[in-house]
Amino acid sequence: MLDTHARKYVEPMIGSTATVLLRLRLKPNQVTWAAFLIGSVTGVLIYYDQPVLAVILLWISGYLDAVDGAMARKQKKTSSWGTVLDITFDRIVELSVIVGLAARYPEAQFLLLLLTAAIVFSMTVFLTVGALSDKKGLKSFYYQAGLAERTEGFILFSLMTLFPSWLLGFTGLFLFVEVFTALQRMWEAKQILTDEE
């Protein structure tokens, strides 16, 4: 929801950063890799009880993940391979957080497993609709908005990491939001794909 409706407020900063990095002769895919490497260590930091640093790096990773797309659009060089890297690396960063939390807090493992299943469910709908729909958006495929987008996920991951005494509650909330989003996207998909027939 926030990615869709609040992006316009941070877009100038994202665009400025993209311009700076392009002037430094960095390529969008290099920034994608940097975002991935920074974000993928969050789970290790969570496991070793460095929650604040983990959350800081998570958000830096997320910010760079937005910047790489802005760089590609400024160069008019968006690519299918860049999209594959972006989506794949996003999921690995999210899994890093979940695995780190599960390793650090074994009592939450079952609920974290359910959360992972819900994310897979939601992303399956998201990617399938993107592949089947003729509509195009800002990205190189149709982007389905929903209650839980990447920013909401980062907010909930941050709360889960910083407030472990509330881990079960925040994980349960995240699980609900993911399932709701998946069902929301399926309902929209029925309208879109039925209209295309």
Say which CATH number the domain at 26 has. Answer: 1.20.120.1760
- Cβ neighbours of 168 (radius 10 Å): 16
In terms of residue numbers, what domain contains 16? Answer: 2-196
- In this structure, the number of other CB atoms found within 10 A of the CB of residue 183 comes to 15
- Summarised one tens digit per residue, pLDDT across range 5-51 is 677 888 999 999 999 999 999 999 999 999 999 999 999 999 999 99
Q: What is the pLDDT of residues 100-148, one digit of tens each?
A: 999 999 999 999 999 999 999 999 998 888 888 766 554 555 666 777 7
- 149 residue type, one letter: E
Burial class (CB in 10 A: 0-12, 13-18, 19+), 97: buried
CA distance 13 to 28: 16
Domain count, the chain: 1
> pTM for the whole thing?
0.88
